Amino acid sequence: MKTNLQLKTLCLIVLTNILLAGEGCASEQPGSSSSPQPALKDVFKKDFLIGMAVNNNVVCGNDVNAAAIVEKHCNTLTAENVMKWGPIHPEPNRYNFEPADRFVEFGQNNKMFIIGHTLVWHHQTPKWVFEDNANKPMTRDAMLSRMKDHIFTVVGRYKGKVGGWDVVNEALDDNGELRKSKWFETIGEDFIEKAFEYAHEADPDAELYYNEYNNEKPGKLEGCVRLIRKLKAKGLRIDGVGLQAHSDMNYPSKKELEGFFAAMKPLGVKVMITELDVSVFPWVDWFAMRKIDFNDVNERKKFNPYPSGLPDEVQQKLADRYAELFSEYVKHADQIDRVTFWGVYDKTSWLNMGRSNYPLLLDKK
Ligand code: 9MR
């Protein structure tokens, strides 16, 4: 373990500097060697890999500043959307590999550990996947065969290039029971086992992960532990558990994080911090967000209080919060393989949802 005080202090200073640099970052050439900021991947070299989820614009050369940031700071890379079922396999007999190919190429060119996200999820999966030719629900066998075919095609294409796959994403409900998704309803609870089995067959060398949000909360945490134990008992390969880490200024607490690391330790799996961001606002889901009338001045004040920039004191609180989370990560570095931010900079974060949020290390510019 590498929790020496000097390293820890350096990590926190770097994070705080990046966050507090504000607009100063924009005028600096993010990837240039003259930049005074050390690369995060170097600062945390002894602890874990550092990654970011990227979209098409970053890997296709449309957003050169973001690409330079990723090249400078990251040694691992995740596809934010292009490998999900919908984008990569939009119709029964049509795959759209081009964006995923560009993503993998970008990662390879920069010698990054590439993460495929994600093979089996209830979301961003087209309706046709769960229907037969007559638009009737699929039988278990037909569904398994469709799943296998998809996994073999996608994992097979990137065999030896993608180092690890989020095989199954978000299969649990908050109470730790299996989510009643179409996967669950059509195949039954062993759809998760089958997905891991097929992924391993398709690329025996790839690492395989189960990825989840809020799995540091009681209920879901217990469900997650049960699931990993079950997969292991069946002799299936599972290398790690993804803690998405969509966080806010208070959640997760130190206690919740400690509980998660303690629960994972005896399972013999690595932990990946897979989708880190820190919302400066308490969580409001998509459904509720859509109902907010941003033309109403009171609603705006309440839900979009910082439309043109974060006040200094909130920025400082955000920096402190990031430092707090990273102290926990460094403390548990013996369990953590990588820390991946869910995006590169605030402008492109999924958390804006119609307002200005500030969840990442780099600001809108
Ligand atoms: O960031 C992703 C966003 O661009 C997509 O519109 C959204 C679709 O559901 O998915 C977002 O990423 C999600 C990730 O794949 C799984 N965990 C939750 C992430 C945030 O919603």
Residue nearest to atom 20 of ligand 1 (CA): 350
* Residue 362 falls inside a structural domain: no
pTM of the model: 0.93
Contact (CB, 8 A) for 55 and 64: no
Bridge partners of residue 169, in order along the sequence: 211
pLDDT, average across residues 330-359: 96
Distance CA 159, CA 96 (A): 17
pLDDT, average across residues 209-228: 98
pLDDT value of position 21: 61
* Residue 358 falls inside a structural domain: no
* Residue 185 falls inside a structural domain: yes
Q: Which two tokens stand for residue 179?
A: 């989510």
Distance CA 60, CA 55 (A): 9
Work out the pLDDT band at 85, boundaries 50, 70, 90: very high
From the CA of 350, how far away is ligand 1's center (Å)?
7
* Residue 326 falls inside a structural domain: yes
How many domains, the chain? 1
Q: Given a cut of 60, is residue 22 above it in pLDDT?
A: no
User: Can you give the CATH number for the domain in which 197 is found?
Assistant: 3.20.20.80
Handedness of CA 112, 113, 117, 119 (dihedral sign): positive
From the CA of 7, how far away is ligand 1's center (Å)?
33
DSSP secondary structure letters along 266-278: GGT-EEEEEEEEE
User: Who contacts 225 (Cβ-Cβ below 8 Å, separation ≥6)?
Assistant: 263, 264, 267
> Could you count the other beta carbons within 10 Å of the beta carbon of residue 340?
25
Handedness of CA 254, 260, 263, 268 (dihedral sign): negative
* Exposure class string for 90-114: b at 16+ Cβ within 10 A, else e: eeeeeeebebbebbbebbeeeebbb
From the CA of 67, how far away is ligand 1's center (Å)?
20
- Residues 251-289 pLDDT 10s: 999 999 999 999 999 999 999 999 999 999 988 888 888
Q: Given a cut of 90, is residue 12 above it in pLDDT?
A: no
* Residue 356 falls inside a structural domain: no
Q: Given a cut of 90, is residue 1 above it in pLDDT?
A: no
- Residues 106-144 pLDDT 10s: 999 999 999 999 999 999 999 999 999 999 999 999 999
Range of the domain at 130: 4-348
Active centre residues (catalytic): 170, 275
* Residue 176 falls inside a structural domain: yes
Bridge partners of residue 242, in order along the sequence: 211, 272
- Residues 285-319 pLDDT 10s: 888 888 888 889 998 888 899 999 999 999 999 99
Q: Which atom of ligand 1 is nearest to the CA of 343?
A: 1
Which of 273, 275, 347, 353 best tests ligand 1's pocket when mutated (most atoms within 8 Å of CB)? 275
Q: Given a cut of 60, is residue 6 above it in pLDDT?
A: no
* Residue 355 falls inside a structural domain: no
Q: In a 10 Å sphere around its CB, with 0-12 CB exposed, 13-18 middle and 19+ buried, how is residue 8 labelled?
A: middle
| Residue 268 CA to its chain's centroid (Å) | 21
Decide: helix, strand or coil at residue 231.
helix
Contact (CB, 8 A) for 240 and 273: no
* Residue 297 falls inside a structural domain: yes
Residues of the chain with pLDDT > 90: what percent?
83
From the CA of 279, how far away is ligand 1's center (Å)?
15
Q: Given a cut of 60, is residue 231 above it in pLDDT?
A: yes
pLDDT value of position 4: 47
pLDDT value of position 263: 98
Residues having CB within 6 Å of any atom of ligand 1: 80-81, 123-124, 169, 213, 244, 275, 350
Q: Which atom of ligand 1 is nearest to the CA of 123?
A: 9
In angstroms, the Cα distances linking 113 to 49, 128, 174 are 9, 32, 31
Contact (CB, 8 A) for 330 and 12: no
- Ordered alpha helix ranges (H), the chain: 5-20, 24-27, 40-43, 56-59, 64-73, 85-88, 98-109, 140-157, 182-187, 191-202, 220-233, 254-264, 286-291, 297-303, 312-331
DSSP secondary structure letters along 52-92: EEE-HHHHTTS-HHHHHHHHHH-SEEEESSTTSHHHH--BT
